[in-house]
Structure 1
Amino acid sequence: MLIRQVQSVDVRPTTTAHLAQTMSLLELSALELHEKIEAELSSNPALELIEGRFCPTCQRPLIDTLHCPICSRPKNLSNEEPIVFISPREEMVTYASFDPDQDVSFEETSVECDDLPVYVFRQIASEIEEADRPIAAHILTSLDKDGLLRTPLIEIALYHHVPLSRVEKVQKIIQSADPLGVGSSDPRQALLVQLDVLAQTRAIPALAKQAIEEGWELLLHHQYPQLARNLGVTVNKVKEIATFIGKNLNPYPARANWGEVHQPTTPYQEAYYTPDIIISLLNGDENAPLVVEIVFPMSGKLRVNPLFREGLREAPPEKLEQWQTDLERATLLVKCIQQRNHAIVRLLQVLVKRQRDFILKGDAYLYPLTRASLAQELEVHESTISRAVSAKTVQLPSGKIIPLAKFFDRSLHIRTELQAIIANESRPLTDMELVEMLRARGYQVARRTVAKYRAMEGILPAHTRSKMRSQKLAPSLV
């Protein structure tokens, strides 16, 4: 079971500490785990990292091979059963070139950030139609130092002789890439993109969206009393919204460990990183099992220092207690990391098997799955699943990078249907008409839910779509 080993520890006094630390490590991304281990190595003499490449699971040395030949070996011949293993991976995957008219190839290089247009393009390449690649290249190469697009979309549409709606569609795909909101036309739009994504996985303060839409300048200049009056709430409520935005959103997407000029002074955004999980096809065959590589951020062998353990027997009385504490900390960390890895492997064995069609075919094939139902299947608490999914990203076989939480997105089916309906509408449909059409397709949703999903997909209301269609100025651009 997912964390059954934790619950079977014989030494009762350490059971609580073991479980607590395992759960704490479970919710860390690969980058955060790397930082945690580095901090422990620098502060605890009882912990050491043996240089070289070792399998994080079985500790075998890896010589002239990227993955462990034992742990990454298929357990059976069924293509439904994924091959899931932990892999030491310190390299970043970066593209060798950026040519929107050619297929993108990649190579493994040393740890360093890509050029921002390249980094974003490699995530969205599979979603951009061949004819739209020049538009994507135009947008990405026009980004300013903050990752924002200051060039008017209409100007890009005129340059490429395409409808404005086509440029907007490409921009929306770019905005969904990491860093979220990249390619937005202004900081406010970047925040709204991030807020919509965040709302899918956690609760957000009431009126946060309205505060950004209607009071961005007031928020920016800390004019909280005025914004509170505009929203009809207390100043404290506005301060709560501002704090939430400051901690969770980033109006300048490129300010994320992006060169010396862009080091953020506030905790807006995580640095760019290798995905926590990389899914690929065995031998590139769509009928073969999926290969699931769980990134472990260090290639060496983490262990308790045997010399420190031996030296404890001759420790000076005044240092004995501290040395014992160091030894216990090191032992606990090594065991809990192993347990974390075991738990994530177990989770992904089930999750990837269930979502194979979604991984290979796209959003319309997402299997309806909740954290609660998966927890029941694995006989663990729902919070364990939530921690294991938290803050982790997945690279799909297409190269697209998505949050692991998207595997549980119950709205994705409906949003995909909504996109299809509106793409084929003969006239702009109202939200109520969309409700009826979705109902005919088997989806029972309220009108306000349709409005929410429509906004999440960047689709304008019916009256605005109708107005755009009826515009007589530059009719070829709408």
Structure 2
Amino acid sequence: MSLAPRLDLRQSQSLVMTPQLQQAIKLLALSNLEIETFIAEEIEKNPLLDAQSGTAEDAPEPPSEPAEPDFAAPRDGPADAGELIAGGAEASGEASLDVDFAAESFHHDSASDSIGGLDGSLGLSGTGSGGSEDGPDFDNFGSAALSLADHLLAQAGASVAGPDLFIAAHLIDQIDECGYLTAPLLDIANRLGVPLARVEAVLGVVQTFDPTGVGARSLSECLALQAKEADRYDPCMARLLDNLDLVARGDMARLKRLCDVDDEDLADMIRELRNYDPKPGCRYGGEPTMTVVPDIFVARRGNGWAVEINAATLPRLLVNRAYYAEVSSGPQDKTSKAWLSDMLASANWLVKALDQRQRTIIKVASEIVKQQEAFFLKGVAHLKPMTLRQIADAIEMHESTVSRVTSNKYLSCARGLYELKYFFTSAIQSSDGGDAVSAEAVKSAIRALIAAEDPKKILSDDTLVELLNAKGFDIARRTVAKYREALGIGSSVQRRRQKALEGTG
């Protein structure tokens, strides 16, 4: 064997994940609002990018591509990168994706342009970009409610003054959104350098503020403040509030002995207790509520379904070729020329990647609607078991691509707003040998059975299993218990105690 150095030529295939390809994979998992933020950042970095703020009717014609692009990729590949940029989406400055605004022909590029708006059940009439004045402003949906802290500070300013006002402001700062004081008084006194008695006196003033019960350090103290306000705080009520754990367990016999009352008086006390608010601070606004904005709209159209991307949250990204021509025609050195070419290639690639993202989302959502048509027509009881692989095989994509598309995306239809992941559920076999049903359909059946149960005959998990088997669901007792807990429904013992408490009212 020769040990001399030599040169060999070898040919091999490998998948190279370029930074742009990695970014394309990341774009699939982002929601529409996250995409809007991403586009804004890219516009700041790339002077050749512009966001058009117009409605869909004013939108120019996008680049001509096949109506059904080939999304298929080699199934034996380790990644799904090839599905993201179909039809030669490499970064090239030659294949421009901007449009000629002088062109006379424009077309409708979405379903909402021809059918008068497609907005599911949310009543969104605008289909323009996120920056359009005609489009809906989701930030304005939540009213600017007065916060609990502001409400309490306004009352403190009218009730105390001087150092006590400073102490009251510090106490209010330690009250959480539910209205409870979260810090020990001794720690507050040491922090402010004032006697504990003075802090307690100021807290007593704060506890007289509206809403009644605010500033309490425990649930029993919160309810006691409300009982005092209603002039119902007597020794019997005090003992009842000191034993709220017995109320929760429904131990009426022991409560009657502790409170030294009869059945009628105890029922009256519990009825009074139900009228109190255990979280008085929640009546006032806290942090701004984040509205869930749908990414996809689905609506019934004749014998079929119309599926559309929510264009209200997606600015229309364009390449400003006029600016590129103006800059490139001037004098520039080699570095500037290379930088300008890179910016043009990056802008062209980004526009094409975003267009491919929307096509991919529409393709996945359309297949979900096709597979789960019974759900959209009849409800959750007809939701079929479905996996990511079923959708991937049907549309000839990689399973990981479908997973990214369905992450952080919401679908709006006539039945409400659903996360795309909601439609993928495990299968429960049918006891009569029929088709399997989804876990969500079983949960719906469990919820319906418990809602209709007789208060005197609470259904145990074993009884639920028998009733579900009679309905055709082959399910084990431990699975029923797991689904019941996932629905937030207590056990038969807990429900029996709850019914007993409701009966005393």
The correspondence for 1:115, drawn from 97, 117, 142, is: 142
Q: 2:34: which partner in 1?
A: 32
The correspondence for 1:72, drawn from 111, 121, 136, is: 111
Instruction: Note closer, same or farther for the CA distance 1:452–1:290 as it changes in structure 2 (3 Å cut).
Output: same
Within the alignment, does 1:377 sit opposite 2:394 as a pair? yes
What is the alpha-carbon distance in structure 1 between the residues aligned to residue 440 and residue 481 of structure 2?
14
Deviation at 1:280, TM superposition (A): 2.6
The answer (yes or no) to whether the contact 2:461–2:480 under 8 Å persists in 1 is yes
Within the alignment, does 1:414 sit opposite 2:442 as a pair? yes
One-letter code aligned to 2:443? R
Q: 2:323: which partner in 1?
A: 307
The answer (yes or no) to whether the contact 2:388–2:402 under 8 Å persists in 1 is yes
Deviation at 1:306, TM superposition (A): 4.4
Structure number, greater radius of gyration: 2
Within the alignment, does 1:295 sit opposite 2:310 as a pair? yes
Deviations 1:178-197 (A, max 9, x none): xxxxxxxxxxxxxxxxxxxx
Within the alignment, does 1:424 sit opposite 2:452 as a pair? yes
Q: Secondary structure at the match of 1:112?
A: helix
Q: Secondary structure at the match of 1:23?
A: helix
Q: 1:8: which partner in 2?
A: none
Aligned residue pairs total 293
Q: Secondary structure at the match of 2:139?
A: coil
What is the alpha-carbon distance in structure 1 between the residues aligned to residue 372 and residue 28 of structure 2?
21
Deviation at 1:424, TM superposition (A): 3.3
What is the alpha-carbon distance in structure 2 between the residues aligned to residue 13 and residue 48 of structure 1?
32
One-letter code aligned to 1:281? R
Within the alignment, does 1:356 sit opposite 2:356 as a pair? no
Instruction: Note closer, same or farther for the CA distance 1:43–1:368 as it changes in structure 2 (3 Å cut).
Output: same
Deviation at 1:72, TM superposition (A): 2.1
Instruction: Note closer, same or farther for the CA distance 1:467–1:117 as it changes in structure 2 (3 Å cut).
Output: farther
Instruction: Note closer, same or farther for the CA distance 1:433–1:114 as it changes in structure 2 (3 Å cut).
Output: same
What is the alpha-carbon distance in structure 1 between the residues aligned to residue 310 and residue 179 of structure 2?
33
5 Å-filtered alignment, 1:392-471, equals 392-398=409-415, 400-410=416-426, 411-426=439-454, 427-469=457-499, 471=500
What is the alpha-carbon distance in structure 1 between the residues aligned to residue 294 and residue 469 of structure 2?
37
One-letter code aligned to 2:440? L
Deviations 1:191-240 (A, max 9, x none): xxxxxxxxxxxxxxxxxxxxxxxxxxxxxxxxxxxxxxxxxxxxxxxxxx
Q: 1:90: which partner in 2?
A: 130
TM-score of the superposition, structure 2-length normalised?
0.49
* Unaligned ranges ≥5, structure 1: 1-11, 76-85, 93-106, 119-144, 151-253, 264-269
TM-score of the superposition, structure 1-length normalised?
0.52
Q: 1:366: which partner in 2?
A: 383
Q: 2:230: which partner in 1?
A: none
The answer (yes or no) to whether the contact 1:304–1:330 under 8 Å persists in 2 is no
One-letter code aligned to 1:49? A
Deviation at 1:30, TM superposition (A): 0.7
What is the alpha-carbon distance in structure 1 between the residues aligned to residue 335 and residue 113 of structure 2?
53
One-letter code aligned to 1:449? T
Q: 2:73: which partner in 1?
A: none
Q: 2:62: which partner in 1?
A: 58
| C-alpha RMSD over aligned residues | 4.2
Q: Secondary structure at the match of 2:51?
A: strand
What is the alpha-carbon distance in structure 2 between the residues aligned to residue 112 and residue 310 of structure 1?
38
What is the alpha-carbon distance in structure 1 between the residues aligned to residue 52 and residue 478 of structure 2?
57
One-letter code aligned to 1:72? A
The answer (yes or no) to whether the contact 2:127–2:135 under 8 Å persists in 1 is no
Deviation at 1:436, TM superposition (A): 3.5
Q: Secondary structure at the match of 1:281?
A: strand
Q: Secondary structure at the match of 2:308?
A: strand
Task: Give % identity.
Answer: 28
5 Å-filtered alignment, 1:199-278, equals 262=287, 271-278=290-297
Deviation at 1:423, TM superposition (A): 2.7
Deviation at 1:308, TM superposition (A): 2.0
Q: Secondary structure at the match of 2:111?
A: coil
What is the alpha-carbon distance in structure 1 between the residues aligned to residue 406 and residue 61 of structure 2?
20
The answer (yes or no) to whether the contact 2:112–2:127 under 8 Å persists in 1 is no
One-letter code aligned to 1:42? E
Deviation at 1:403, TM superposition (A): 1.1
Displaced runs of 4 or more, over 6 A: 12-15, 59-62, 145-150
Deviation at 1:298, TM superposition (A): 3.5
What is the alpha-carbon distance in structure 2 between the residues aligned to residue 281 and residue 444 of structure 1?
33
What is the alpha-carbon distance in structure 2 between the residues aligned to residue 74 and residue 46 of structure 1?
28
What is the alpha-carbon distance in structure 2 between the residues aligned to residue 146 and residue 31 of structure 1?
30
